[in-house]
């Protein structure tokens, strides 16, 4: 009450200082977030770019080498392999896990018996720690002893080295990641579905629209903001995978399952080559920035928000 | 009440003012309760030396432990000592991480107590950079029941490459639908593939690296022939499973009778002994031109950043850990080769070896042993060699091609050390 009384007494002459005070206030309120953002995002990005232009000598001194690190990267077959692997990995995981998430969400959005249990079951993979997930799937994939090979042996088939064979290892990882991600994305779709007004559905069915037509022309377009959000997350996740690789394949055999971030980890910590790791990180930054640009510059404007 | 309890706990935990704190990282690369054994030995050391406190930190496999130690060092919190691969010595020297141990001990005769084959990796430019601890060689384990079943002499392991193939062909067992239920021999290709390839190369009469550690010989015809032989075991002779064989699960394969023979570190000996439900033998690796195996395993390193008191305490700890009685105990509990001849002369070890002669095979093989592949930028070079082995084993490349590509990459990395 007293504040309101105070504001009403402001004279025009003091309005200027009031605006100034408001600005200070706003900046002070933004400061904690800004400090964190600069300290943990913007500064590290600049430091990484700078470091990629230098090499650290064995005696600890730095020397400017310009684009040498980038030249070495272009000539590095493992880098290209990691990049190509990452492309196939993203292509394998993103569309499938999103489609699966949507189907699961529509399924558990209906009124039915055991709905809570089903939702929980779908969501469980998401809450498991990454290392536990890797161990569970090792149990499936281990040659001879694993669940898959036990099943194969029922049909008289011999053991298959799932993770030790360059032709199957990527597929194995893709399946595992879809299993883990679909349940997570389902939650967003489920929340979005529950926001949709049932009136639209009813109106459409009175008009005689089929269920498929309603989904295609009403539900799915209205879910687009969620789809975009989920898609961005899926892209980020497909570049973020590293824990599973450490446990399950170490990027092998012969780099068949090396992804970009795992290679960065290996270069930075196993080979202790910080400047080359920084160079690789810059590539990752560029890739992810491109994704963000597409989202904000193009997709956002084409999507209908309620 | 709570405060009083806290205070009491604190004052009980307080140590004399002269106490020295040491942190040690160590790896585990074999089966069995190794962390428990280490904790037990360390706590006995602390009891005898009240002024030194040692925190032993299990840090994963050898690569992980090295990664952890180097990362901790760059973060400003290095351990004071660590057990790392004996072959990490060049990298640790290049990174300026460790001190030579010569300056820290008054009696240099101590260095002569160890097997020279184990000291070889750590002595560079006349200085001693590491003290051997959990050292090993590769040995051949064989299942005597399987040999009997195949009509072979259960007391005789293959002595040559050709003999190993011939025996393996007899040891193969298939089920009704034609799937192999028992392989002749398995050599692990993940984890430490370079180590196995080096063993084959040595037997074929080929060195893998030079002394200054800036050259590797991956495309030498005899190295290529070694990898050819390895690949042929599965591709041509069909006595080993196709594709990569996992370091960690191979022991299980052997114990489950899925392979009649395996090549593995002697560090696994006690774990195999404790779990085997059949009589088994341990032999030196078969010969081509000669017998041979690289030495392997971990040594103690002392970090430069440790204070003089800590370095002195670390030496004391290492001397205690490698003393004959402890070396014998460690060897009996794991299977690693005891690091000094004196350890094999202890009463406990002599009695143990009488009842279990397999325990001395790795030691006897030392006379044929060669230092493990050790060069500058070890981590990178190992990756190139391991990648080439995996490419050849999984048939994505011919051994010759795969090794040529590894050699080219290794040359590029090692160029700066010439």
A157 touches chain B (CB under 8 A): yes
Instruction: Choose among A58, A158, A253: nearest Cβ to B95.
Output: A58
Distance separating alpha carbons of residues A102 and A119, to the nearest angstrom: 13
Q: Check residue A293 and give its pLDDT.
A: 87
Give chain A positions within 8 Å (CB) of B179: 153, 156-159
Closest residue in A to B179 (Cα–Cα): A158
Identify the residue among A79, A135, A158 best suited for mutation to test binding to B, counting B beta carbons within 10 A and taking the highest: A158
Q: What integer is the mean pLDDT of B100-121?
A: 90
Q: What integer is the mean pLDDT of B276-289?
A: 96
Q: What integer is the mean pLDDT of A132-153?
A: 88
For A186-238, the pLDDT digits (tens) are: 999 999 999 888 888 888 888 888 888 988 888 898 899 899 889 988 998 99
Q: Would the pLDDT of B18 be above 60?
A: no
Distance separating alpha carbons of residues A107 and A105, to the nearest angstrom: 5
Specify the 3-state DSSP secondary structure of B106.
Answer: coil
pLDDT band of residue A9 (cuts 50, 70, 90) is low
Q: With pLDDT > 90 as the criterion, what percentage of chain A qualifies?
A: 43
Query: Is the pTM for the entire model greater than 0.90?
Result: no
Q: With pLDDT > 90 as the criterion, what percentage of chain B qualifies?
A: 80
Q: Check residue A32 and give its pLDDT.
A: 94
Highest mean pLDDT: which range of A241-245, B198-202, B414-418: B198-202
Q: What integer is the mean pLDDT of B25-45?
A: 92
Q: What integer is the mean pLDDT of B302-329?
A: 94
Q: Check residue A113 and give its pLDDT.
A: 85
Q: Check residue A58 and give its pLDDT.
A: 65
Give chain A positions within 8 Å (CB) of B61: none
Q: Would the pLDDT of A59 be above 80?
A: no
Give chain B positions within 8 Å (CB) of A266: 383
Q: Check residue A246 and give its pLDDT.
A: 87
Token match 């899926």: residue? A234
Distance separating alpha carbons of residues A210 and B367, to the nearest angstrom: 83
Q: Check residue B5 and give its pLDDT.
A: 47
C-beta of residue A301 within 8 angstroms of C-beta of residue A224: no
For A172-189, the pLDDT digits (tens) are: 999 999 999 999 999 999
Q: What integer is the mean pLDDT of B220-230?
A: 97
Q: List, in sequence order, every residue forming a beta bridge with A38; answer none if it has no partner.
A: none
Strands (E), B33-143: 52-58, 81-85, 123-124, 127-128, 131-143
Min CA distance, B357 vs chain A (Å)? 32
Q: Check residue B121 and give its pLDDT.
A: 85
C-beta of residue A193 within 8 angstroms of C-beta of residue A186: no
User: CB within 8 A of A279, min separation 6: which ones?
Assistant: A52, A69, A70, A72, A73
For A213-225, the pLDDT digits (tens) are: 988 888 898 899 8
Q: Would the pLDDT of B15 be above 60?
A: no
Q: What integer is the mean pLDDT of B292-317?
A: 94
Q: Would the pLDDT of B218 be above 90?
A: yes
Q: Would the pLDDT of A7 be above 70?
A: no
Instruction: Choose among B63, B95, B190: nearest Cβ to A252.
Output: B190
What would the two tokens of residue B197 be? Answer: 């390839």
Token match 């037990």: residue? B40
Min CA distance, A52 vs chain B (Å)? 18
Q: Check residue B4 and give its pLDDT.
A: 47
Q: Would the pLDDT of A62 be above 60?
A: yes
Give chain B positions within 8 Å (CB) of A60: 96
Rounded to the nearest integer, the mean pLDDT of chain A is 87
Say yes or no: ipTM exceeds 0.90: no
Give chain A positions within 8 Å (CB) of B94: 58
Q: What integer is the mean pLDDT of B182-209?
A: 95
Q: Would the pLDDT of A298 be above 60?
A: yes
Q: What integer is the mean pLDDT of A49-67?
A: 83
Q: What integer is the mean pLDDT of B41-54?
A: 93
Q: Check residue A200 and give its pLDDT.
A: 86
Q: Would the pLDDT of A299 be above 50?
A: yes
Element containing residue B416 per DSSP (H, E): none
Closest residue in A to B250 (Cα–Cα): A143
Distance separating alpha carbons of residues A41 and A275, to the nearest angstrom: 18
Q: Would the pLDDT of B235 be above 80?
A: yes
pLDDT band of residue B3 (cuts 50, 70, 90) is very low
Instruction: Choose among B63, B180, B245: nearest Cβ to A158.
Output: B180
Identify the residue among A156, A163, A164 best suited for mutation to test binding to B, counting B beta carbons within 10 A and taking the highest: A164
For B379-413, the pLDDT digits (tens) are: 899 999 999 999 999 988 999 999 999 999 999 99
Closest residue in A to B258 (Cα–Cα): A144
CB contact under 8 A, A156 and B177: yes
Radius of gyration of chain A (CA): 26
Rounded to the nearest integer, the mean pLDDT of chain B is 91
Q: Check residue A177 and give its pLDDT.
A: 93
CB contact under 8 A, A157 and B179: yes
Interface size A-B, in CB pairs within 8 Å, comes to 79
Q: Would the pLDDT of B221 be above 80?
A: yes
pLDDT band of residue A1 (cuts 50, 70, 90) is very low
What would the two tokens of residue B346 be? Answer: 């202890």
Q: Check residue A202 and give its pLDDT.
A: 87
Q: What integer is the mean pLDDT of B112-119?
A: 92
């Amino acid at each position: 009450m007293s504040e309101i009384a105070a504001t009403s007494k402001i004279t025009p002459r003091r309005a200027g200082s009031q605006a100034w005070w408001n600005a200070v206030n706003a900046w002070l309120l933004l400061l904690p977030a800004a400090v964190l953002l600069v300290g943990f995002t913007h500064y590290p990005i600049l430091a990484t770019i700078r470091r990629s232009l230098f090499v650290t000598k064995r005696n600890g001194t730095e020397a400017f080498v310009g684009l040498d690190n980038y030249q070495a990267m272009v000539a590095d077959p493992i880098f290209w392999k990691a990049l190509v692997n990452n492309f196939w990995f993203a292509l394998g995981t993103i569309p499938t896990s999103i489609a699966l998430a949507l189907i699961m969400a529509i399924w558990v959005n209906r009124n039915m018996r055991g709905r809570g249990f089903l939702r929980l079951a779908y969501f469980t993979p998401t809450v498991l720690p990454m290392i536990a997930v890797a161990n569970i799937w090792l149990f499936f994939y281990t040659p001879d002893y694993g669940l898959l090979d036990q099943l194969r042996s029922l049909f008289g088939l011999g053991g298959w080295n799932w993770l030790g064979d360059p032709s199957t290892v990527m597929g194995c990882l893709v399946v595992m990641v879809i299993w883990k991600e679909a349940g997570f994305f389902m939650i967003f779709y489920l929340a979005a579905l529950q926001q949709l007004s049932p009136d639209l559905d009813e109106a459409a069915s009175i008009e005689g629209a089929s269920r498929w037509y309603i989904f295609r022309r009403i539900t799915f377009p209205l879910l687009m903001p969620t789809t975009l959000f989920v898609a961005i997350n899926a892209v980020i996740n497909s570049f973020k995978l590293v824990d599973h690789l450490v446990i399950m394949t170490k990027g092998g055999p012969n780099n068949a399952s090396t992804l970009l971030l795992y290679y960065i980890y290996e270069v930075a910590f196993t080979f202790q080559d910080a400047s080359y790791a920084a160079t690789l990180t810059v590539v990752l930054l560029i890739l992810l920035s491109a994704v963000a640009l597409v989202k904000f510059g193009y997709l956002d404007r084409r999507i209908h928000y309620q | 009440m709570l405060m009083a309890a806290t205070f009491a706990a604190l004052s009980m935990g307080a140590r004399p003012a002269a106490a020295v704190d040491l942190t040690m990282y160590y790896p585990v690369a074999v089966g069995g309760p190794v962390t428990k054994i280490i904790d037990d030995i360390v706590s006995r050391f602390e009891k005898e030396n009240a002024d030194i406190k040692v925190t032993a930190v299990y840090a994963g496999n050898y690569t992980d432990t090295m990664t952890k130690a180097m990362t901790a060092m760059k973060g400003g919190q290095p351990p004071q000592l660590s057990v790392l691969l004996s072959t990490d010595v060049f990298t640790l020297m290049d990174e300026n991480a460790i001190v030579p141990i010569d300056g820290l001990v008054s009696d240099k005769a101590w260095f002569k107590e160890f097997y020279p084959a184990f000291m070889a990796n750590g002595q560079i430019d006349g200085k001693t950079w590491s003290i051997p601890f959990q050292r090993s060689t590769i040995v051949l384990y064989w299942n005597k029941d399987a040999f009997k079943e195949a009509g072979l002499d259960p007391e005789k392991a293959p002595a040559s490459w050709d003999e190993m193939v011939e025996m393996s062909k007899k040891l193969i067992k298939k089920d009704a639908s034609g799937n192999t239920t028992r392989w002749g021999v398995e050599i692990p290709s993940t984890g430490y593939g370079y180590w196995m390839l080096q063993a084959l190369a040595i037997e074929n009469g080929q060195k893998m690296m030079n002394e200054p550690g800036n050259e590797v010989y991956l495309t030498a015809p005899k190295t290529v022939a070694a990898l050819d032989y390895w690949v042929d075991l599965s591709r041509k002779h069909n006595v080993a499973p196709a594709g990569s064989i996992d370091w960690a699960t191979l022991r299980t394969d052997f114990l489950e009778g899925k392979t009649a023979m395996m090549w593995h570190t002697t560090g696994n000996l006690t774990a195999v002994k404790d779990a085997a439900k059949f009589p088994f033998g341990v032999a030196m690796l078969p010969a081509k031109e000669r017998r041979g195996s690289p030495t392997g395993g971990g040594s103690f390193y002392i970090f430069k950043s440790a204070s003089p008191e800590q370095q002195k305490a670390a030496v004391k700890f290492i001397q205690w850990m490698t003393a004959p009685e402890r070396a014998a105990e460690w060897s009996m509990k794991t299977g690693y080769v005891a690091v000094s001849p004196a350890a094999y002369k202890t009463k406990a070890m002599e009695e143990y070896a009488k009842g279990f002669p397999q325990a001395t095979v790795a030691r006897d093989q030392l006379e044929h042993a060669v230092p493990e592949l050790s060069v500058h930028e070890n981590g990178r070079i190992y990756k190139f060699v391991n990648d080439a082995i995996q490419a050849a084993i999984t048939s994505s490349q011919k051994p010759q091609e795969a090794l040529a590509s590894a050699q080219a990459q290794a040359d590029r990395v090692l160029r700066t050390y010439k």
